Amino acid sequence: MKNVRLAGLALSFALGTTAWAEVPGNGPVCEASPASQSSRKVGEEVVRRLESPHPYAAVERPGATGALHTDTLTHPGASYIAPHFATLELEEGDYVLVRAPDGSRSWRYDTTHPGARDGFWSIPIPGDTAIIELHSPVVERRGVLNQYGYRIDKYGRGYSARELGTNGVQAEALCGVDDSGQARCYESSEPQLYNHSRAVARLLINGSNACTGWLVGNQGHLLTNNHCIGTDTDARNTTYEFMAEGATCATSCGSWGACPGTVVATGATLVKTDAPRDYTLVQLPTNPTSTYGFLQLRATGAVVDERIYVPQHPAAYGKKIAVTSSATADASGYAEVYSLTEPACQSGGPSDVGYHADTQGGSSGSPVLGYADHQVVSLHHCANCPNRGVPIQDIITHLGSSLPACALRSATCPDPWGANGEPPPPPPPPPVQSFTYSATNTNSAQQNTVNKRLTFNAGDVVEMGTCNLTGATASGDTWLRLYDGAGIQVASNDDACGGRSSYFKYTVPAGKGGTHELRAGCYSSGSCGGTVVWKLTAGTPPPGPLTGSFTYTASRTNNATRDTTHHDVTAAAGQTLTFGTCTLTGASGSGDTYLRLYTSTGALVAANDNACGSLSHLSYTIPAGAGGTYQLRAGCAGNRSCDGTVVYTLQ
């Protein structure tokens, strides 16, 4: 290969500006530019308003397609059309279909889509025409309905090949011959390389930008660059397309969107992102690892001079793999790790891994794999002769508890393709502490919910979610609520994990252990479903009931405000302190007793004079957030004389 002087393997298929310097005898060499991560689009947004009637009416007779209403978007010469829905409000069971004229690609949307309320980009339809259809399967329904329907406010249209070559959008920035090859060309000669490349996806973000991403771990997570997907909105407006490659080695896939694959999702949930390390982890709404496999990360990172390969979607072309290299630095003829100390592309990031494997704009987010063990050693994100990637061990450390299951290879998580390239096993079953559900019209999880009764002890820390826990999944906008044995809500969550999934952590207060009920539902009146997982961390059980007593004799205490007898008791939030000179076993008194309870700061929180005739008795429950040392003060009413035995219990 050659030294790739890419200035911005960027959000789009595109490259940022590159600063060039001349080195005598060595030809052009590029220098890092401040714009090395700037994006160039492969398409543009076009303002166009298309909409159904508002509200739409079922009395419209379905046409030949069976649709209540149909719109057509056409842009002559466009390489794709991606409608943007500003609003989608449909009757339960109705849906909108976005499809190609010949039906070769389509996607169905209804009110469970996470962007239905706020707007979203739909699936891109290859070619210059997209059909939008409103369907209602309830054929006998008549009259004007209550729902708005849909409104499209714009669409993305892909640049033609001519525009990509002449409108300032560079298709390449290569310093020599491109040594990467079509993925299918390695299917027989390098089956392990090819099999591992199946986990690599082509991404179209916000209707006009492209990158590469790949499945990591066995739970349906995908990793790419932060400069590709930087927010939850980006994640929810990205098309995730797998196996976009030629049918044979001879198939030409050298154009934008060429060799269409299978669109697995048109949105995902953001799990974690970081700009200095330039990575983003998302979770797809379905887990495709049983079909495409997944990649694993090498905890120790890359090694200088080791052989590597890079499966990718350069310029959003069909999938290619950079295996060989004609760079002088790669004397073996294969792509190798050049160094571990290249300047970081991102401000505040670690030193990059350098290599001369060929890449182009749109390759951002590609995995760099060690040839010997097929583990990811770096996340490709920019170029500066050599190309550069983030050390994968830095990403592992930063992910922390968000690291997906089986992202690291072990005896219990072997290479999913096996030593000889066997297909991956099916994904593991849901965790024991989980249940799946689907629901609709739950009024934000207040009716028609799916319920699970669980028993917790005081002090237990309970985590529950349709995200953020291994095996948790969500489709649509989930809502979880937790109630104690008295039917009182103690925890609730609608939107967590940067999206429409749900998660909360709850510590069971002292005295509040017992049966709880988890209720799983959906936001508002929508439909949703998922796998709810709960995790229980046993807390230190609260101390058992404490009983004690003390005697006193007093006089002239001015209602127990001076010259009293004191006794300290330590109590925690949720515990109840009961004390008195009557009612409790062993308690007694003569004269007119008076009791007061103070905090460690001297604040009066409880007092009693005549609970049992002239004797005293009271109870006080320590409020949430309080606790510590409390002081019992025993005296007499007015300025009289009295005495007694004060008994107290704490539980």
- pLDDT, residue 346, reads 86
Q: Is the pLDDT of residue 620 over 80?
A: yes
Residue 560 lies in a domain: yes
Q: Is the pLDDT of residue 215 over 90?
A: yes
Cα gap 17→237, rounded to integer Å: 27
Average pLDDT over residues 277-299: 94
- pLDDT, residue 167, reads 41
Closest CA to 297 of 400, 218, 369: 369
Q: Is the pLDDT of residue 130 over 90?
A: yes
Confidence of residue 61 (pLDDT cuts 50, 70, 90): low
Answer yes or no: do 78 and 16 share one domain: no
Answer yes or no: do 293 and 208 share one domain: yes
Cα gap 602→633, rounded to integer Å: 11
Confidence of residue 138 (pLDDT cuts 50, 70, 90): low
Average pLDDT over residues 208-225: 95
Residue 407 lies in a domain: no
Strand ranges (DSSP E) for 268-307? 269-274, 279-283
Average pLDDT over residues 287-308: 94
Average pLDDT over residues 435-457: 91
Percent of the chain with pLDDT over 90: 59
Average pLDDT over residues 498-521: 88
DSSP 474-500: EES-EEEEEE-TTS-EEEEESSBTTTT
Confidence of residue 278 (pLDDT cuts 50, 70, 90): very high
Per-residue pLDDT tens digits for 512-547: 889 999 999 998 888 888 899 999 988 765 555 689
Residue 111 DSSP code: T
Q: What residues form DSSP beta bridges with 202?
A: 212, 241
What CATH number is associated with residue 506? 2.60.120.380
CA–CA distance from 354 to each of 308, 322, 335, 390, 391 (Å)? 11, 14, 11, 9, 10
Are 380 and 415 within 8 A, CB to CB? no
- pLDDT, residue 594, reads 96
Answer yes or no: do 239 and 256 share one domain: yes
More confident call, 41 vs 491? 491
Average pLDDT over residues 162-190: 69
Confidence of residue 22 (pLDDT cuts 50, 70, 90): very low
Per-residue pLDDT tens digits for 356-374: 998 888 899 999 999 999 9
Q: Is the pLDDT of residue 313 over 50?
A: yes
Final residue belonging to a domain, choices 537, 572, 603: 537
- pLDDT, residue 530, reads 86
- pLDDT, residue 172, reads 35
- Provide φ and ψ at 393, rounded to 5°: -65, -30
Residue 415 lies in a domain: no
- pLDDT, residue 480, reads 96
Both tokens of residue 266?
């048109």
Cα gap 419→192, rounded to integer Å: 9
Residue 506 DSSP code: E
- pLDDT, residue 201, reads 97
CA–CA distance from 187 to each of 30, 215, 230 (Å)? 34, 19, 33
Cα gap 317→313, rounded to integer Å: 5
Mean residue pLDDT across the chain: 85
Residue 428 lies in a domain: no
Strand (E) or helix (H) holding 197:
helix 191-197
Answer yes or no: do 438 and 469 share one domain: yes
Answer yes or no: do 246 and 267 share one domain: yes
pTM of the model: 0.61
Cα gap 239→262, rounded to integer Å: 10
Tell the residue number behind the tokens 């592309």, with chain if given. Answer: 345
- pLDDT, residue 465, reads 94
Q: What residues form DSSP beta bridges with 51?
A: 151
Closest CA to 413 of 524, 509, 308, 299: 299
Are 163 and 169 within 8 A, CB to CB? yes
- pLDDT, residue 420, reads 60
Domain total in the chain: 4
Per-residue pLDDT tens digits for 464-481: 999 888 888 887 789 999
- pLDDT, residue 458, reads 84
User: Which residues span the domain enclosing 517?
Assistant: 434-537
Answer yes or no: do 446 and 474 share one domain: yes
Answer yes or no: do 27 and 47 share one domain: no
Closest CA to 428 of 408, 444, 443, 413: 413
Cα gap 596→563, rounded to integer Å: 13
Final residue belonging to a domain, choices 485, 513, 537: 537
- pLDDT, residue 151, reads 96
Average pLDDT over residues 418-433: 66
Answer yes or no: do 280 and 181 share one domain: yes
Answer yes or no: do 125 and 205 share one domain: no
Answer yes or no: do 504 and 565 share one domain: no
Weakest mean pLDDT among 2-6, 183-187, 489-493: 2-6
Q: Is the pLDDT of residue 421 over 60?
A: no
- pLDDT, residue 350, reads 93
Residue 196 lies in a domain: yes
Cα gap 377→221, rounded to integer Å: 18
More confident call, 26 vs 59? 59
Weakest mean pLDDT among 142-151, 163-172, 555-564: 163-172
CA–CA distance from 102 to each of 105, 122, 404, 505, 642 (Å)? 8, 18, 39, 49, 98
Cα gap 261→282, rounded to integer Å: 20
Residue 166 lies in a domain: no
- pLDDT, residue 19, reads 31
SS3 513: coil
Peptide bond into 431 cis (omega under 30): no
DSSP 113-126: STTTTT-EE-PPEE
Residue 375 lies in a domain: yes
Residue 149 lies in a domain: yes
Select the highest-mean-pLDDT range: 212-226, 247-261, 385-399. 212-226
Q: Is the pLDDT of residue 498 over 80?
A: no
- pLDDT, residue 559, reads 95
What CATH number is associated with residue 82? 2.60.120.290
What CATH number is associated with residue 295? 2.40.10.120
Q: Is the pLDDT of residue 142 over 90?
A: no
- pLDDT, residue 41, reads 66
Cα gap 169→152, rounded to integer Å: 27
Answer yes or no: do 531 and 638 share one domain: no
Average pLDDT over residues 101-114: 88
Are 561 and 635 within 8 A, CB to CB? yes
Q: What residues form DSSP beta bridges with 214?
A: 200, 223
Closest CA to 301 of 226, 196, 217, 375: 375
Answer yes or no: do 188 and 333 share one domain: yes
- pLDDT, residue 418, reads 82
Per-residue pLDDT tens digits for 631-649: 999 999 999 999 999 999 9
